Structure 1
Amino acid sequence: MEAPNPLPKYVYKIIPTAPPSPIPSPYPLSLLDQKDGFVHLSTAAQIPITSDLFFTAVHQLWILKLRLSNFDASSVKWDEVEGTNGCPHLYGNFGAADVESAREFGREADKTWTETLKGNEWLE
Protein backbone atom coordinates (compact mmCIF):
# COMPACT_ATOMS: atom_id res chain seq x y z
CA MET A 1 0.00 0.00 0.00
CA GLU A 2 1.24 3.50 -0.77
CA ALA A 3 2.04 5.99 1.98
CA PRO A 4 -0.60 8.66 2.57
CA ASN A 5 -0.10 12.00 0.90
CA PRO A 6 0.60 14.21 2.68
CA LEU A 7 2.47 12.18 5.26
CA PRO A 8 1.53 12.80 8.88
CA LYS A 9 4.06 14.68 10.96
CA TYR A 10 3.83 12.10 13.76
CA VAL A 11 3.17 8.42 14.25
CA TYR A 12 2.38 6.90 17.64
CA LYS A 13 3.25 3.82 19.65
CA ILE A 14 0.60 2.71 22.16
CA ILE A 15 1.95 0.90 25.21
CA PRO A 16 0.00 -0.51 28.17
CA THR A 17 2.46 0.62 30.85
CA ALA A 18 4.72 3.59 31.52
CA PRO A 19 7.77 3.69 29.26
CA PRO A 20 11.20 3.19 30.80
CA SER A 21 12.73 6.40 32.12
CA PRO A 22 14.87 7.56 30.52
CA ILE A 23 13.63 6.16 27.23
CA PRO A 24 16.36 3.84 25.93
CA SER A 25 17.87 3.47 22.48
CA PRO A 26 16.89 1.05 21.14
CA TYR A 27 13.43 0.86 22.69
CA PRO A 28 12.55 -2.62 24.01
CA LEU A 29 10.26 -4.35 21.51
CA SER A 30 6.94 -5.81 22.65
CA LEU A 31 6.38 -9.53 22.20
CA LEU A 32 3.94 -8.77 19.36
CA ASP A 33 6.46 -6.51 17.59
CA GLN A 34 9.16 -9.18 17.98
CA LYS A 35 6.82 -11.88 16.61
CA ASP A 36 5.61 -9.80 13.64
CA GLY A 37 9.06 -8.41 12.76
CA PHE A 38 8.03 -4.75 12.86
CA VAL A 39 6.93 -2.07 15.32
CA HIS A 40 3.17 -1.54 15.25
CA LEU A 41 2.43 2.19 15.02
CA SER A 42 -0.69 4.28 14.47
CA THR A 43 -1.58 7.66 13.03
CA ALA A 44 -3.38 10.13 15.29
CA ALA A 45 -6.73 9.23 13.69
CA GLN A 46 -6.08 5.52 14.26
CA ILE A 47 -5.20 5.81 17.97
CA PRO A 48 -8.81 5.65 19.30
CA ILE A 49 -9.70 2.73 17.02
CA THR A 50 -6.54 0.78 17.81
CA SER A 51 -7.01 1.46 21.53
CA ASP A 52 -10.61 0.20 21.43
CA LEU A 53 -9.59 -2.93 19.51
CA PHE A 54 -6.50 -3.97 21.45
CA PHE A 55 -6.54 -2.16 24.81
CA THR A 56 -10.13 -2.62 26.02
CA ALA A 57 -8.98 -4.44 29.15
CA VAL A 58 -6.89 -1.52 30.41
CA HIS A 59 -8.03 1.79 31.85
CA GLN A 60 -4.62 3.45 31.60
CA LEU A 61 -2.26 3.49 28.65
CA TRP A 62 0.71 5.46 27.41
CA ILE A 63 1.25 6.85 23.94
CA LEU A 64 4.67 7.72 22.54
CA LYS A 65 4.72 10.46 19.88
CA LEU A 66 7.36 9.77 17.23
CA ARG A 67 8.42 12.22 14.52
CA LEU A 68 7.92 10.34 11.25
CA SER A 69 10.66 12.30 9.46
CA ASN A 70 13.23 10.68 11.78
CA PHE A 71 12.80 7.40 9.90
CA ASP A 72 14.01 6.47 6.46
CA ALA A 73 10.99 6.17 4.14
CA SER A 74 11.97 2.61 3.23
CA SER A 75 11.77 1.50 6.88
CA VAL A 76 8.12 2.57 7.30
CA LYS A 77 5.57 0.57 5.36
CA TRP A 78 1.90 1.51 5.21
CA ASP A 79 0.27 -1.88 5.42
CA GLU A 80 -3.39 -2.36 4.66
CA VAL A 81 -5.42 -3.24 7.70
CA GLU A 82 -9.17 -3.65 7.45
CA GLY A 83 -11.02 -0.44 8.28
CA THR A 84 -7.97 1.85 7.93
CA ASN A 85 -6.24 3.86 5.27
CA GLY A 86 -3.04 1.98 6.01
CA CYS A 87 -1.22 1.45 9.28
CA PRO A 88 2.38 2.53 9.65
CA HIS A 89 4.71 -0.34 10.50
CA LEU A 90 8.33 0.42 11.33
CA TYR A 91 10.70 -2.25 10.06
CA GLY A 92 13.48 -1.52 12.51
CA ASN A 93 13.24 0.18 15.84
CA PHE A 94 13.14 3.58 17.48
CA GLY A 95 14.76 5.11 20.53
CA ALA A 96 14.94 8.15 22.75
CA ALA A 97 15.95 10.52 19.93
CA ASP A 98 12.80 9.61 17.99
CA VAL A 99 10.33 10.16 20.85
CA GLU A 100 9.15 13.75 20.89
CA SER A 101 6.96 13.19 23.95
CA ALA A 102 5.02 10.59 25.89
CA ARG A 103 1.69 10.95 27.59
CA GLU A 104 -0.43 8.84 29.91
CA PHE A 105 -4.15 8.55 29.25
CA GLY A 106 -6.86 7.16 31.50
CA ARG A 107 -10.44 6.30 30.75
CA GLU A 108 -13.47 5.79 32.94
CA ALA A 109 -14.90 2.26 33.09
CA ASP A 110 -18.09 3.28 31.27
CA LYS A 111 -16.29 5.05 28.40
CA THR A 112 -14.52 3.76 25.30
CA TRP A 113 -11.07 4.90 24.28
CA THR A 114 -12.69 6.65 21.31
CA GLU A 115 -14.86 8.70 23.68
CA THR A 116 -11.90 9.37 25.97
CA LEU A 117 -9.45 10.46 23.26
CA LYS A 118 -11.87 12.40 21.04
CA GLY A 119 -10.64 15.92 20.32
CA ASN A 120 -7.36 15.53 22.19
CA GLU A 121 -5.05 18.23 20.80
CA TRP A 122 -1.88 16.29 21.66
CA LEU A 123 -2.86 13.77 18.99
CA GLU A 124 -2.24 15.89 15.91
Structure 2
Amino acid sequence: MSSDSKPNYVYKIVPSSSPVPELPNLPERLPVSDLDQSSGFIHLSTASQIPSTLKFFFKDDTSVYILRLPYDVLEDQKLIRWEDPKAEVCGPRGGEGMFPHLYNGLKLGKEEIERIEVLEKREEGWEDAIVKAETEWLVW
Protein backbone atom coordinates (compact mmCIF):
# COMPACT_ATOMS: atom_id res chain seq x y z
CA MET A 1 0.00 0.00 0.00
CA SER A 2 1.43 3.35 -0.95
CA SER A 3 1.20 6.39 1.30
CA ASP A 4 -1.36 7.88 -1.12
CA SER A 5 -3.79 4.97 -0.90
CA LYS A 6 -5.99 4.27 2.04
CA PRO A 7 -7.11 0.89 3.27
CA ASN A 8 -10.71 -0.22 3.19
CA TYR A 9 -10.26 -1.79 6.61
CA VAL A 10 -7.87 -1.89 9.54
CA TYR A 11 -7.55 -4.88 11.83
CA LYS A 12 -7.07 -5.64 15.49
CA ILE A 13 -5.43 -8.96 16.31
CA VAL A 14 -6.52 -10.48 19.62
CA PRO A 15 -5.09 -13.71 21.06
CA SER A 16 -7.64 -16.50 21.32
CA SER A 17 -6.89 -16.65 25.05
CA SER A 18 -8.90 -13.40 25.29
CA PRO A 19 -12.35 -14.59 24.20
CA VAL A 20 -14.28 -12.18 22.02
CA PRO A 21 -18.09 -12.42 21.92
CA GLU A 22 -19.67 -13.08 18.55
CA LEU A 23 -21.35 -10.45 16.42
CA PRO A 24 -23.94 -8.98 16.87
CA ASN A 25 -23.61 -9.51 20.63
CA LEU A 26 -20.53 -7.37 21.14
CA PRO A 27 -20.52 -4.99 24.08
CA GLU A 28 -19.91 -1.26 23.71
CA ARG A 29 -16.33 -1.79 24.90
CA LEU A 30 -14.17 -4.92 24.85
CA PRO A 31 -11.35 -5.29 27.39
CA VAL A 32 -8.10 -3.90 26.02
CA SER A 33 -4.70 -5.55 26.15
CA ASP A 34 -2.04 -4.51 28.63
CA LEU A 35 -0.01 -3.17 25.70
CA ASP A 36 -2.88 -1.00 24.46
CA GLN A 37 -3.62 0.17 28.00
CA SER A 38 -0.02 1.21 28.64
CA SER A 39 0.29 2.80 25.18
CA GLY A 40 -2.90 4.85 25.53
CA PHE A 41 -4.17 3.76 22.11
CA ILE A 42 -5.26 0.61 20.31
CA HIS A 43 -2.62 -0.98 18.07
CA LEU A 44 -4.03 -1.90 14.65
CA SER A 45 -2.66 -3.32 11.41
CA THR A 46 -3.50 -3.08 7.75
CA ALA A 47 -4.10 -6.30 5.83
CA SER A 48 -0.56 -6.15 4.44
CA GLN A 49 0.89 -5.76 7.96
CA ILE A 50 -0.94 -8.74 9.47
CA PRO A 51 1.62 -11.40 8.38
CA SER A 52 4.54 -9.61 10.07
CA THR A 53 2.49 -8.67 13.12
CA LEU A 54 1.54 -12.33 13.56
CA LYS A 55 5.11 -13.49 13.01
CA PHE A 56 6.67 -11.15 15.55
CA PHE A 57 3.98 -10.61 18.18
CA PHE A 58 1.82 -13.75 18.01
CA LYS A 59 4.44 -16.43 17.23
CA ASP A 60 3.48 -18.51 20.29
CA ASP A 61 -0.27 -18.37 19.63
CA THR A 62 -2.02 -21.16 17.75
CA SER A 63 -5.07 -19.07 16.88
CA VAL A 64 -6.13 -15.45 17.03
CA TYR A 65 -9.22 -13.36 16.50
CA ILE A 66 -9.02 -10.83 13.70
CA LEU A 67 -11.37 -7.90 14.24
CA ARG A 68 -12.15 -5.94 11.08
CA LEU A 69 -12.88 -2.21 11.38
CA PRO A 70 -14.05 -0.04 8.46
CA TYR A 71 -11.32 2.54 7.92
CA ASP A 72 -13.29 5.46 6.44
CA VAL A 73 -15.48 5.91 9.52
CA LEU A 74 -12.47 6.05 11.83
CA GLU A 75 -10.57 8.40 9.52
CA ASP A 76 -13.59 10.71 9.12
CA GLN A 77 -13.79 11.00 12.91
CA LYS A 78 -10.04 11.69 13.03
CA LEU A 79 -9.47 8.71 15.34
CA ILE A 80 -6.57 7.14 13.41
CA ARG A 81 -2.94 8.25 13.52
CA TRP A 82 -0.23 6.62 11.43
CA GLU A 83 2.77 6.09 13.68
CA ASP A 84 5.67 3.78 14.29
CA PRO A 85 4.81 0.89 16.66
CA LYS A 86 5.77 2.90 19.76
CA ALA A 87 3.97 6.08 18.61
CA GLU A 88 7.23 8.03 18.68
CA VAL A 89 7.20 9.03 15.01
CA CYS A 90 4.16 10.09 12.98
CA GLY A 91 4.10 9.62 9.24
CA PRO A 92 1.97 9.32 6.14
CA ARG A 93 -0.79 6.79 5.80
CA GLY A 94 0.75 3.48 4.83
CA GLY A 95 4.30 4.84 4.94
CA GLU A 96 7.18 2.48 5.65
CA GLY A 97 6.97 1.27 9.23
CA MET A 98 3.81 3.26 9.96
CA PHE A 99 0.91 1.51 11.67
CA PRO A 100 -2.66 2.69 12.22
CA HIS A 101 -3.30 3.50 15.88
CA LEU A 102 -6.80 4.09 17.19
CA TYR A 103 -7.11 7.05 19.57
CA ASN A 104 -10.64 6.99 20.95
CA GLY A 105 -10.29 6.46 24.67
CA LEU A 106 -9.43 2.77 24.23
CA LYS A 107 -12.94 1.99 23.02
CA LEU A 108 -13.27 -1.00 20.74
CA GLY A 109 -16.68 -2.64 20.55
CA LYS A 110 -19.85 -3.06 18.54
CA GLU A 111 -19.73 0.43 16.99
CA GLU A 112 -16.22 -0.05 15.59
CA ILE A 113 -16.05 -3.75 14.68
CA GLU A 114 -17.69 -4.93 11.47
CA ARG A 115 -16.51 -8.55 11.34
CA ILE A 116 -14.69 -11.09 13.50
CA GLU A 117 -12.80 -14.09 12.17
CA VAL A 118 -10.63 -16.75 13.78
CA LEU A 119 -7.26 -17.40 12.17
CA GLU A 120 -5.73 -20.81 12.93
CA LYS A 121 -1.97 -21.27 12.62
CA ARG A 122 -0.81 -24.32 10.68
CA GLU A 123 2.27 -26.40 11.55
CA GLU A 124 4.39 -24.39 9.13
CA GLY A 125 3.17 -21.04 10.43
CA TRP A 126 0.56 -18.41 9.67
CA GLU A 127 1.14 -18.19 5.89
CA ASP A 128 -1.46 -20.74 4.69
CA ALA A 129 -4.12 -19.30 6.98
CA ILE A 130 -3.43 -15.81 5.66
CA VAL A 131 -3.61 -16.92 2.02
CA LYS A 132 -7.00 -18.51 2.69
CA ALA A 133 -8.22 -15.40 4.55
CA GLU A 134 -7.15 -13.18 1.63
CA THR A 135 -9.50 -15.06 -0.66
CA GLU A 136 -12.42 -14.88 1.76
CA TRP A 137 -12.44 -11.83 4.07
CA LEU A 138 -9.04 -10.15 4.52
CA VAL A 139 -9.57 -7.05 2.41
CA TRP A 140 -6.86 -4.54 1.54
TM-score by length of 2: 0.76
Structure 1 residue ranges, 4+ long, deviating more than 4 angstroms after superposition:
none
- 8 Å CA contact 1:49–1:114 kept in 2: the answer is no
Aligned counterparts of 1:56 and 1:96: Cα–Cα separation in 2:
28
Q: Secondary structure at the match of 2:4?
A: coil
Q: Deviations over 1:57-102 (max 9, x none)?
A: 0111110000112224532110135x94410000122320221110
- 8 Å CA contact 2:122–2:128 kept in 1: the answer is no
2:99 is matched with: 87
1:4 is matched with: 3
Q: Secondary structure at the match of 1:96?
A: coil
Q: Aligned pairs, how many?
A: 121
Q: Secondary structure at the match of 2:82?
A: strand
- 8 Å CA contact 2:80–2:101 kept in 1: the answer is yes
- 8 Å CA contact 1:43–1:88 kept in 2: the answer is yes
1:113 is matched with: 126
Please point out which of 112, 118, 122 is paired with 1:104: 118
Aligned counterparts of 1:5 and 1:114: Cα–Cα separation in 2:
27
1:74 is matched with: 78
Identity %: 35
